[in-house]
Amino acid sequence: MYCHMLKKNIVQEVLNYIENNIDVNINIDDISRFTGYSRRHIQTIFKHHVRIPIGLYIRKRRVTRASIFLRLTNMNVIDISAKFGYDSQQSFCREFKKAAGLTPLQYRRSCCWDFSPLLAEFNFSHIDVGSFQICTLPEGYISGQMSHQEITIPINENILDVRWNSIVNHLNNLKQNIWAISEYNAHKKHSMRIKISSIIGVRNKEVNKKPGDHPYPSGIYARFSFRCNKEEYSKYSKHIYLNIFPKHRLKRRPAPDIEVFTYNGYARPDNALDCEYYIPVETVAE
């Protein structure tokens, strides 16, 4: 038992080291020096727990991180390749096309976001968002205040805390289900920033739009239903995009994400909330 926990702790240290040094072109020799264990020993215990070799894991994590910058920022391809430690833009393009089947520019310009080449950071903790359903939502309207934020990657946890607290306040004040609509776009003037447009409010149950209402589009969505607290909130979304979407080869189409939080009486910020999460998709699971 002790030996198993020791090996698990070593793997976790390796995972942390990879994430913290993904931008300096690390390899198994660097990891061997960091841990003090032989290449063979590290490779064996890593593959036992993570199920893929260290080298492949590093390459896929680099491609994943780079793909997020390609889709969510206007950062130049050459700058992205340098940021993640590639020797040149050409080597980045070769590695990316090998993993994604598209060049970085083709991936950026694609109408839908294909998550199938991506790999989430390995996590020993089990995250369960349940199964999902493919459904069609009709067009609707949300009554609420629109807000705009500019963020960088990775997202500051304080921003997510503020959003969570706002949702809790809306639930308590309006005493009905709260809808949160969010859209992420590359900032036009700042290459490394993302612009988030959000609306938190209530759904207009009438057919006609009222003054001040904000529309959300009809279309096909992947619907997830789960219960989470503030600490789990961001982890669930990341798990869905980087684990569920690649597994089922889902592609995200251009449209806002929609979250519906159920009103179950007075809620405190540390309470868990019931959430229905709708993500616009192009294709359905096989």
Which H or E element spans position 170?
helix 157-174
Same domain, 195 and 235: yes
Share of the chain above pLDDT 70, in %: 97
On whether the CB atoms of residues 197 and 146 are closer than 8 A, the answer is yes
256: containing domain: 132-280
What's the CATH code of the domain at 193?
3.20.80.10
- Whole-number pLDDT of residue 207: 64
- The pLDDT of residue 279 is above 90: yes
On whether the CB atoms of residues 243 and 118 are closer than 8 A, the answer is no
Total domains present in the chain: 2
Region of residue 225 (left: phi > 0; alpha: psi -120 to 50; beta: else) = beta
Same domain, 136 and 105: no
Distance from C-alpha of 284 to C-alpha of 277, rounded to nearest angstrom: 16
Same domain, 66 and 163: no
Same domain, 219 and 90: no
Same domain, 192 and 153: yes
Same domain, 21 and 99: yes
- The pair of structure tokens assigned to 271 is 């309470």
Work out the average pLDDT over 63-72.
Answer: 96
Same domain, 158 and 39: no
pLDDT digits (tens, 9 = 90+) for 114-123: 999 999 999 9
Q: What is the mean pLDDT of the chain?
A: 92
Distance from C-alpha of 77 to C-alpha of 92, rounded to nearest angstrom: 9
Same domain, 199 and 248: yes
**Within a domain: 188:** yes
On whether the CB atoms of residues 216 and 141 are closer than 8 A, the answer is yes
**Within a domain: 127:** no
- The pLDDT of residue 102 is above 50: yes
Same domain, 136 and 246: yes
pLDDT digits (tens, 9 = 90+) for 230-254: 999 989 999 999 999 999 999 999 9
Same domain, 97 and 147: no
Distance from C-alpha of 94 to C-alpha of 75, rounded to nearest angstrom: 19
Residue with tokens 């759904």: 203
Distance from C-alpha of 103 to C-alpha of 106, rounded to nearest angstrom: 5
- The pLDDT of residue 283 is above 70: no
Residue with tokens 């199964």: 131
- Whole-number pLDDT of residue 285: 47
Distance from C-alpha of 36 to C-alpha of 78, rounded to nearest angstrom: 34
**Within a domain: 117:** no
What's the CATH code of the domain at 70?
1.10.10.60
- For the entire predicted model, the pTM comes to 0.91
Q: How sure is the predictor about 2, in pLDDT bands with cuts at 50, 70 and 90? A: low
Work out the average pLDDT over 267-285.
Answer: 88
